[in-house]
Structure 1
Amino acid sequence: MGNNKKSAGKNLIVQGSILAVASIVVRLIGILYRIPLTNIVGNEGMGYYGFAFEVYQILVILSTNAVPVAVSKLTAARVARHQYKNAQAIFRCSIIFAAVLSGTLALITFVGARWISIFMFGGIVEVAPALRVLAPTVFVCAVMGVFRGYTQGLGNMAPTAFSQVVEQLFNAVVSVAAAAILISRGAAFGAAGGTLGTLMGAVSSLVFLYLVYSSYRPQLGLRMKKDPTKKLLENKDIYRMIGLTIIPLVLTSTIYQISSLLDSALFSNILKAIGYQPSFISSLYGIYSSKYQLLINLPLGITAALSVAMMPGIAGAIALKRHEQVREQMDLVIRVTMLIAIPCAVGVAVMGGPIMQMLFRDTTTLPGRMLIIGAVTIVFYALSTLTSTILQASNHMRIPVINAGISLGIHIVFTVVLLAFADLHIFALIYGNIVFSFSMCVLNLRSLAKLIDYRLDIPKMCGAAVIASAIMGAVTFFVYKGSIYLIHSNLISTVIAVLVAVVVYALVMIVTHGVTEEELYLFPKGDMIVKLLYRLHLL
């Protein structure tokens, strides 16, 4: 039994690591191509790009984002019982469900792009061209999400990981090339060129996933032939299951994303009402969406990968009524998430300004100040997303929706007051996000304690990471300042400081036993890591 638990924990970390590595690669590519894209279209063009993406993200959530998680959960529950025919039927019905829903939303968006721009963003119609390019992307992403969810439900995260990298590579090349060609027609068309890469990236990813699925077919055919299941699910029952699973996931994700869409709408409309010029509003939002959020979202992608990897394991364990295994996976994934999120938040707060200067040649203090204030949301968003996934995987689907709705109400009131009466412009959005993510954490943790008697042991889960991160932050700050004083190069000083930060955090965690030898064995190549640490006399 002990070996089975260890194996389950190791598999969770391995699968999560595959997605995490892919997430890092994808976001690094995103950072790299955003640099020339921002230089081509400018802050104003990136503002139009950012506004269009806020609408696009809502459409993706309504038709796409919940699909991989729902298909993964439903498939994993059937595979755990060796019901391969039912798993295949779920896949087939999910394709139809996703295609119809996303196709409808895509058509409405394409036709109504100008009206959406006028209504949502205070008459900034320059958002419409980018929105029209993004409309068909919604359909492609929805179908792609079904393929990803199916392979995840089979316990294999590699197809999703590789498809994400393929998607981002095509996205990067096409975005920069199309923006460079179309910028001669103005910032709005330059932004539309940037969104064309999103469409072509999604198409390339869908083709890749279909080829992977085709390679699975012979093996799936053999499994279905051996499937002893006598009671096969009817299509109407499958559609009902998909709907009942997707709707709570969609509502939770929508509330998460709608807070961002409302932020952009409130920001543009309120600032315009109090006298700011549209070009200045768009430039400010361009800094927020293309620079600030880019750096904040990099570590969140890693923690989100662990949530995705956790869902099939918990769904399968619940289907087999292995409640102890469920709790162990919860402990493991929360602890690993905090080991990543806390040092990332400290690192972004300390080194955000120099990194912005290195990436975008932005010597102004605004992006750095934004990151110092907003870095704490990395921890709150990581934990709130993870706890929402745990509640959903534990069949408490409505609770995260309710908690997100309460948090959104608090967030809206707080943000409106700061925008209208405190004249904090872009900082009002940052403070509002802190309030929203913190509220979600508190409410989700309260729900976990009440519903499944799961209480977060904060000292055990976060204590060592907080201490190690504080030491890392102090050392990194002085290393950067010292390097700048000696060599007068922000690029070299930033690289040195970031490398030192990684080494210092790892050493402090190991020396203080913040991470145990048993936990190290769970990571990919864990045995090699442990052997190396013994040779260095660190264990």
Structure 2
Amino acid sequence: MANEGTMKTFMKGAVLLTMAGFIVKLLSAIYRVPFQNLVGDQGFYIYQQVYPFVGIFSVWTSYGFAVAVSKLLADSEKPNHGAILRISLGFIAAVSLAVFLVLFLGAEGLAGWMGDGQLAPLLQIAALAVLLMAPIAVMKGHFQSRNHMQPVAYAQVMEQAIRVSVILLGSWLVVMAGYSLYAAGSMAILGAAVGELAAVLLLFYFFRRSYHREERRAPAIRPWPIIKKMTVISLSISMSSLILLFFQLVDSFSVFRLLTEAGVDRMAAMEQKGVYDRGQPLVQFGILMATSLALAIVPLVAQMAKNPSGRPAQAYAQLAFRVSFLFAFASAAGLSLVMPYVNEMLFETREESAALIVFSWQIVWMALLLVLTSLLYGLGKVKIPAWLLAGGIGVKIIGNWLLIPIWEVTGAALAGNIGLAFVVFGLLLYFKRVWPIRLAPKRYYGWIFAAASAMAIAVAGWSLFADGVLFDGLESRLSAALIAVTAVLLGAAVFLVVVARSRIITEREWFIIPFGRKLAGLQLKLNARKKGDRI
């Protein structure tokens, strides 16, 4: 009975943390749209140049280090917990201080390398956000090691909600007051520090109630083994979540600079980079939709892998891969078909829609990357995936330098796809060595292509009719919005009907997936009707 209660507590906490993560990622994808509408492409460029500095360290500490602290606490004896927490806090604080000094004192140099000296004050504000990372990581790790997920979930949602509120409200006030777009960017970066402060205060409120006196009097232990393990675990665990942020950092140092060196006017280069950055929320939203269902299956793989036969684990791994690829391919293909309309609907113009189409295919690579790394982590394999992810960043750097002078921001988008493809193919080869199973049959890929083809025919036909006839007399942005929404709904319906008819994911498999019951019901109805037609 005790074990059953512990499992129920664990599952409840895991579900709560998953929901909190979904809300945080959704807010992160959505807020960029009104922010871009508020500050324009140049203002968006300013923010996106500096954001990766905060984002990378935030994910590494609040996610990677938090998991590392949690694991170290879970694997150690209780009398040592206090010492581990003190060592962890001291080490992460030292890393935070080092990053703070680099950003604050080196702001002018970094801004110069990016080709825009006016970014220096924003980098100094970003440095302030870094200082609060240590207590957040340690307290999250403390709670997660005890399966006490509520404070972690509440802090994540509150931090992001306050951050987004400060970004949007603060930027609006700055713009309305007539200050520069760089001032608006500074306010947006400040939102990260304000959100983190709120998270620290909330976590500390819960932490005071759960930190026992005996942990304060913990015996001394050697710090170096703790620091070494913490660093390796935090980097290995967080690399798959960091790769897009590292790609953004590569773009911060190369896209604007290479555009101006190629002869593009500085203002035009800023706006072009801002338009290119419109792809970030689109990809984030596509990845969220594609992986949230599939990643819910992944913990079952690690659990079922203990089964001597290995069959259940294999079935869950194959299902996670197939669901992820299915929704990712549908999202990328659908976005490609309606990109000009989505671009205008969300961001006011149709500029660089071709570059954004290329950019949107990163959804497929990222979805597969996240699922494959999660499956490998579940099997205890973390080092090779981390090296492959680092290699992908190197490919992105080389790709930018080679392709941007030729194709401008479309070259940067293509370089991102090539870098992610390098990682995914490497992961697939390594996965085959670790676990030689076939993730999906040829029939599966054939039906995905058929579903995408049917979707393309339906969406293209509808878009031409709606744009040329149905909504022709309406205001341009309203017309684009109506075409985009109706085309997305039509395309999704056609794609799902073809997939349901094919049964490449069975009704039983749909039932395993969160919110899969309705799709299972649709599939049963369609295939029952198909049998009736034959009779």
Query: Normalising TM by the smaller chain, what interval?
Result: 0.7 to 0.9
CA contact (8 A) 2:258 2:404 kept: yes
Provide the residue aligned with 2:267 in structure 1: 279
CA contact (8 A) 1:50 1:285 kept: no
Partners of 2:205 and 2:317 in 1: how far apart? 34
Provide the residue aligned with 1:242 in structure 2: 230
CA contact (8 A) 2:298 2:378 kept: yes
Provide the residue aligned with 1:514 in structure 2: 504
Provide the residue aligned with 2:363 in structure 1: 378
Pick from 451, 466, 476: which aligns with 1:468? Answer: 451
CA contact (8 A) 1:285 1:426 kept: yes
Cα 1:353–1:331, aligned 2, differ >3 Å: closer, same or farther?
A: same
CA contact (8 A) 2:298 2:317 kept: no
Cα 1:176–1:324, aligned 2, differ >3 Å: closer, same or farther?
A: same
CA contact (8 A) 1:43 1:282 kept: yes
Aligned AA (1:442) = F
Cα 1:164–1:333, aligned 2, differ >3 Å: closer, same or farther?
A: farther
Provide the residue aligned with 1:47 in structure 2: 45
CA contact (8 A) 1:338 1:462 kept: no
For 1:154-169, what aligned pairs fall within 5 Å after superposition?
163-169=155-161
CA-to-aligned-CA distance 1:18-75 (integer Å, 9 cap, x gap): 6676566445544554344223332222211111113333433554442244346556
CA contact (8 A) 1:78 1:86 kept: no
Pick from 187, 194, 203: which aligns with 2:181? Answer: 187
- The answer to which of 59-68 and 353-362 deviates more is 59-68
Partners of 1:473 and 1:150 in 2: how far apart? 49
Partners of 1:276 and 1:202 in 2: how far apart? 38
Provide the residue aligned with 1:334 in structure 2: 321
Q: SS of the counterpart of 2:505?
A: coil
Cα 1:501–1:313, aligned 2, differ >3 Å: closer, same or farther?
A: same
Partners of 1:262 and 1:532 in 2: how far apart? 44
Aligned AA (2:358) = I
Partners of 2:114 and 2:332 in 1: how far apart? 31
User: Cα offset for 1:193?
Assistant: 1.1
- Please tell me whether residue 172 in structure 1 is matched to residue 164 in structure 2: yes
Partners of 1:201 and 1:261 in 2: how far apart? 22
User: Cα offset for 1:198?
Assistant: 2.3
Pick from 288, 291, 299: which aligns with 2:276? Answer: 288
Aligned AA (1:339) = L
- Please tell me whether residue 413 in structure 1 is matched to residue 398 in structure 2: yes
CA-to-aligned-CA distance 1:364-395 (integer Å, 9 cap, x gap): 341x2122222222111221233233334433
Partners of 1:112 and 1:340 in 2: how far apart? 43
For 1:402-481, what aligned pairs fall within 5 Å after superposition?
402-420=387-405, 422=406, 424-457=407-440, 459=442, 462-481=445-464
For 1:104-503, what aligned pairs fall within 5 Å after superposition?
104-118=98-112, 120-122=113-115, 124-148=116-140, 163-183=155-175, 184-210=178-204, 217=210, 237-249=225-237, 257-289=245-277, 291-303=278-290, 305=292, 327-362=314-349, 364-366=350-352, 368-420=353-405, 422=406, 424-457=407-440, 459=442, 462-484=445-467, 485-488=469-472, 489-503=479-493
Cα 1:385–1:528, aligned 2, differ >3 Å: closer, same or farther?
A: closer
User: Cα offset for 1:186?
Assistant: 1.4
Partners of 2:425 and 2:25 in 1: how far apart? 28
Structure 2 unaligned spans of 5+: 1-6, 473-478, 530-535
Partners of 2:13 and 2:445 in 1: how far apart? 23
Structure 1 unaligned spans of 5+: 1-7, 226-230
Pick from 22, 35, 38: which aligns with 2:36? Answer: 38
Partners of 1:454 and 1:232 in 2: how far apart? 47
Cα 1:411–1:458, aligned 2, differ >3 Å: closer, same or farther?
A: farther
For 1:519-538, what aligned pairs fall within 5 Å after superposition?
519-524=509-514, 530=520
CA-to-aligned-CA distance 1:199-247 (integer Å, 9 cap, x gap): 22233344445556678x4xx98xx99xxxxx99976544332233224
Aligned AA (1:40) = L
Q: SS of the counterpart of 1:524?
A: coil
CA contact (8 A) 1:299 1:344 kept: yes
Pick from 92, 96, 101: which aligns with 1:102? Answer: 96
Partners of 1:463 and 1:527 in 2: how far apart? 25
Aligned AA (1:293) = Q
Cα 1:482–1:402, aligned 2, differ >3 Å: closer, same or farther?
A: same
Partners of 2:105 and 2:307 in 1: how far apart? 48
Partners of 2:334 and 2:306 in 1: how far apart? 40
- The answer to which of 520-529 and 101-110 deviates more is 520-529
Q: CA RMSD in A?
A: 4.1
Q: Which has the higher contact order (CA 8 A, sep 6+)?
A: 1
CA contact (8 A) 2:388 2:427 kept: yes
Cα 1:451–1:36, aligned 2, differ >3 Å: closer, same or farther?
A: closer
Partners of 1:74 and 1:337 in 2: how far apart? 31
- The answer to which of 300-309 and 124-133 deviates more is 300-309
Aligned AA (1:351) = V
Partners of 2:367 and 2:268 in 1: how far apart? 32
User: Cα offset for 1:351?
Assistant: 1.9
CA contact (8 A) 1:69 1:311 kept: no
- The answer to which of 151-160 and 140-149 deviates more is 151-160
Partners of 2:60 and 2:308 in 1: how far apart? 31
CA contact (8 A) 1:20 1:302 kept: no
User: Cα offset for 1:442?
Assistant: 0.9
Count residues in correspondence: 509
Identical amino acids, percent of aligned pairs: 22
Partners of 2:373 and 2:384 in 1: how far apart? 8
Partners of 2:102 and 2:180 in 1: how far apart? 26
Partners of 2:78 and 2:296 in 1: how far apart? 20
CA-to-aligned-CA distance 1:464-490 (integer Å, 9 cap, x gap): 444333323332333333333213422
Partners of 2:413 and 2:294 in 1: how far apart? 24
CA-to-aligned-CA distance 1:302-329 (integer Å, 9 cap, x gap): 4565687677666677799996665454
CA contact (8 A) 2:66 2:140 kept: yes
Partners of 1:315 and 1:396 in 2: how far apart? 12
Aligned AA (1:517) = E
Cα 1:35–1:481, aligned 2, differ >3 Å: closer, same or farther?
A: same
Partners of 2:501 and 2:249 in 1: how far apart? 44
